[in-house]
């Protein structure tokens, strides 16, 4: 990095400073509709930056894993793009923001009966249904191998979170049955729901999430291992839908204040991509009304301002 405010020493100092500044921020609530998530430590707080050169900077609990939840959605969408191509994937799922909650069932009933985009639950369930494989175990193995390549090391599931969501995810079950009704899901509804709950239960540290975002910032090549994880033509669909739809029904506000493609999840993870430069991730489980990590949102707004990160700054400093 040529910018002095992005020198290694300056990045490390800023992450430490923001961790200290926002640790006392105890607003928000733990997600409790998946019972296991309500057991999270409210003071878990990790911040990590991974550059496209493979340098990693971190503060707080950046090495402690949490489940990915919806942060998994763009990456499984990327896998479907690799398997089938954008045209086939978008026969089943749209590319428009909804303005409704991530787990809304209402939009499915309207108009085309096609989920609006792959970043909401209905769209993600339709996309998971497209993942190729010879058996449920084979499909899960493919997904775990994909996420291991993004992280740069083997990753695994949190079995308790998976089972907890499997037995409490009635709204997702209803969405899956409605998708089946509209011909957007095959007959293996339960297997497909399990695969979706499993992708949501993959354990990733903040540092792993930053490296996953840095892979997208680096044109699809994991910056530490040097392995290509996503074909270059699939970056644009993925990043554009993260930008317009990745931050729940406050994606517009996020675009206004932060201005980066990003994805948030109910376990408290947020990752964002600064194309050509870096991936940034923050994890902390207390959530605001839109479902974003309160500390995560605060850190991203401040970092975007200080480092001039918005794609609409014309590339200059803030």
CB 245 within 8 A of CB 119: yes
**Which pairing describes strands 66-67 and 203-204: parallel, antiparallel, or unpaired?**
antiparallel
Q: Which of 14, 92, 98, 103 binds ligand GLU (CB under 6 A)?
A: 103
Site string for ligand GLU, 54-93 (x = CB under 6 A): ---------------xx-----------------------
Q: Which of 46, 65, 259, 265 binds ligand GLU (CB under 6 A)?
A: 265
Q: Which of 52, 140, 200, 260 binds ligand GLU (CB under 6 A)?
A: 200
Show the tokens assigned to 253: 């506000």
| Residue 18 or 40 with smaller CB distance to ligand GLU | 40
Q: Could you confirm whether 196 is annotated as catalytic?
A: yes
- One of 49, 56, 70, 93 is an active-site residue; which one? 70
Among residues 238, 248, 241, which one has the least CA distance to residue 31? Answer: 248
Residue 266 sits in the site that holds ligand GLU (CB under 6 A): yes
Phi-psi region of 132 (alpha: psi -120 to 50; beta: other; left: phi over 0): beta
Residue 245 sits in the site that holds ligand GLU (CB under 6 A): no
Q: How far is the CB of 308 from ligand GLU (least distance, A)?
A: 29
Show the tokens assigned to 102: 């991530």
| Residue 97 or 223 with smaller CB distance to ligand GLU | 97
Among residues 282, 301, 275, 144, which one has the least CA distance to residue 209? Answer: 282
Look at residue 100 and give its three-state secondary structure: coil
Q: Could you confirm whether 116 is annotated as catalytic?
A: no
| Residue 14 or 198 with smaller CB distance to ligand GLU | 198
| Residue 32 or 55 with smaller CB distance to ligand GLU | 32
Angle between helices 8-22 and 294-307 (to 10 degrees): 140
Site string for ligand GLU, 151-190 (x = CB under 6 A): --------------x------x------------------
Q: Could you confirm whether 53 is annotated as catalytic?
A: no
CA of 64: how far to CAs of 15, 46, 264, 305, in Å?
Answer: 16, 8, 18, 27
Task: Compute the distance between CA of residue 285 and CA of residue 3 in angstroms, rounded to an integer.
Answer: 32
Backbone angles phi, psi at 67, to 5 degrees: -75, 150
- Detail the DSSP E strand segments found in 71-126: none
CB 210 within 8 A of CB 262: no
| Residue 57 or 77 with smaller CB distance to ligand GLU | 77
Q: How far is the CB of 37 from ligand GLU (least distance, A)?
A: 9
Residue 121 sits in the site that holds ligand GLU (CB under 6 A): yes
| Residue 172 or 250 with smaller CB distance to ligand GLU | 172
Task: Compute the distance between CA of residue 189 and CA of residue 312 in angstroms, rounded to an integer.
Answer: 42
Catalytic residues: 70, 73, 196, 248, 266
Contact residues for ligand GLU, defined by CB under 6 A: 69-70, 102-103, 121, 165, 172, 200, 265-266, 291
């Amino acid at each position: 990095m040529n910018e002095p405010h992005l020198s290694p020493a300056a990045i490390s100092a800023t992450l430490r400073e923001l961790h200290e500044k926002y640790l006392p921020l105890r607003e928000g609530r733990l997600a409790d509709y998946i019972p296991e998530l309500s057991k999270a430590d409210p003071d878990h707080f990790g911040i990590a930056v991974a550059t496209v050169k493979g340098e990693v900077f971190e503060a707080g609990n950046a090495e402690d894993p949490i489940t990915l939840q919806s942060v998994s959605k763009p990456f499984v969408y990327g896998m479907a793009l690799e398997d089938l191509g954008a045209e086939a994937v978008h026969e089943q799922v749209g590319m428009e923001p909804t303005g409704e909650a991530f787990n809304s069932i209402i939009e499915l009933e309207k108009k085309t009966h096609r989920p609006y985009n792959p970043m909401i639950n209905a769209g993600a369930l339709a996309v998971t249904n497209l993942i190729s494989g010879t058996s449920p175990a084979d499909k899960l193995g493919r997904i775990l191998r994909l996420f291991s390549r993004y992280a740069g090391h083997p990753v695994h599931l949190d079995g308790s979170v998976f089972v907890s969501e499997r037995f409490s995810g009635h709204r997702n079950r209803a969405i899956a049955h409605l998708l089946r009704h509209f011909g957007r899901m095959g007959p293996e509804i339960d297997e497909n729901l399990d695969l979706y709950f499993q992708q949501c239960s993959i354990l990733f540290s903040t540092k792993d999430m930053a490296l996953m975002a840095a892979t997208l910032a680096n044109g699809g090549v994991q910056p530490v291992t040097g392995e290509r994880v996503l074909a270059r033509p699939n970056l644009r669909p993925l990043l554009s839908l993260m930008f317009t739809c990745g931050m729940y029904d406050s994606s517009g506000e996020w675009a206004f204040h932060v201005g980066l493609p990003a994805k948030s999840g109910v376990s408290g993870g947020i990752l964002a991509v600064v194309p050509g430069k870096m991936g940034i991730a923050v994890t902390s489980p207390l959530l605001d009304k839109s479902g974003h990590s309160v500390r995560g949102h605060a850190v991203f707004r401040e970092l975007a301002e200080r480092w001039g990160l918005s794609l609409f700054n014309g590339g200059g400093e803030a």
